[in-house]
Amino acid sequence: MQQTCILCTSHHGGDLGLCAPCLADLPWHSAAQCPQCALISNGGLCGGCLSAPPHFDAAKATFTYNYPLDGLLQHYKYNANLNLARTFASLWIDYQHGLSTTSRPIDLIIPMPMHEKRLTERGFNQALEIAKQISSAFSIPLDYTACQRIKYTPSQAGLKLKERIDNIRGAFLCHRPLHNLNIAVIDDVMTTGASLNELAKTLKQAGAARVECWVMARTLPK
């Protein structure tokens, strides 16, 4: 089905709502990167992951968090444009399929949990909506109740890494054993990775064997 392109309003938006030229212009994360945290590297582990390895084992991002994708993600999040969940999921799946990286089978998908209070404010969990699409496309089970966000944290935006880490400590609680499971955690944006790292720590404490971060966009340091 042809839709209007959400970025340039041409009538060739295809079924994802993005025309071919706008798609080509998106900030694809195609540079050589660290397989563990998706920051730019020579393709091997970056200095940060070597000196202080995060609790997650891999990070897969399709875009860098730059124009115009940043605006598109914000539009999705704050204007509840839920059609975009399918667009982001499809773009993520197609892009990751095209990469030749070997990936291990994932047993379970867990979307980044949102605190109940935040959920009431926003009306939906942006990570859950994308995760539902990826779960059904890959036929991998999704468990949104496995893990809960028990700490209401103010927006992490504008905080320094150390403040983000302090802020997020103890934020998650896991309700079921996850012994030997390979888990993919889905989130919209990976900024410092502090939330994903804390969640991965909690999942591993519950027995997870491996945790991958599947994110739409990665913020790169300026």
Q: Which residues bind Zn ion (CB under 5 A)?
A: 5, 7-8, 10, 19, 22, 34, 36-37, 46, 49
Minimum distance, C-beta of residue 13 to Zn ion, in the bound complex (Å): 7
Minimum distance, C-beta of residue 54 to Zn ion, in the bound complex (Å): 8
Residue number with CB closer to Zn ion (135 or 192): 192
Residue number with CB closer to Zn ion (37 or 215): 37
Nearest alpha-carbon partner for 127 in 198, 195, 25:
195
Minimum distance, C-beta of residue 88 to Zn ion, in the bound complex (Å): 16
Residue number with CB closer to Zn ion (19 or 183): 19
Residue number with CB closer to Zn ion (36 or 219): 36
Minimum distance, C-beta of residue 9 to Zn ion, in the bound complex (Å): 7
Minimum distance, C-beta of residue 10 to Zn ion, in the bound complex (Å): 5
Pair 186, 33: CB distance under 8 Å: no
Q: What angle do CA 50, 54, 60 make, to 5 degrees?
A: 95
CA atoms 137, 184, 19, 2: torsion sign: positive
Residue number with CB closer to Zn ion (46 or 140): 46
Checking DSSP bridges between strand 147-149 and strand 172-174, what pairing results, if any?
Answer: antiparallel
Residue written as tokens 């993520």?
Answer: 92
| Bridge partners of residue 215, in order along the sequence | 61, 187
Minimum distance, C-beta of residue 86 to Zn ion, in the bound complex (Å): 17
Residue number with CB closer to Zn ion (49 or 194): 49
For 76, the enclosing helix (H) or strand (E) is helix 69-78
Cα–Cα distances (Å) from 161 to 8, 48, 55, 133, 221, in that order, read 35, 13, 16, 31, 12
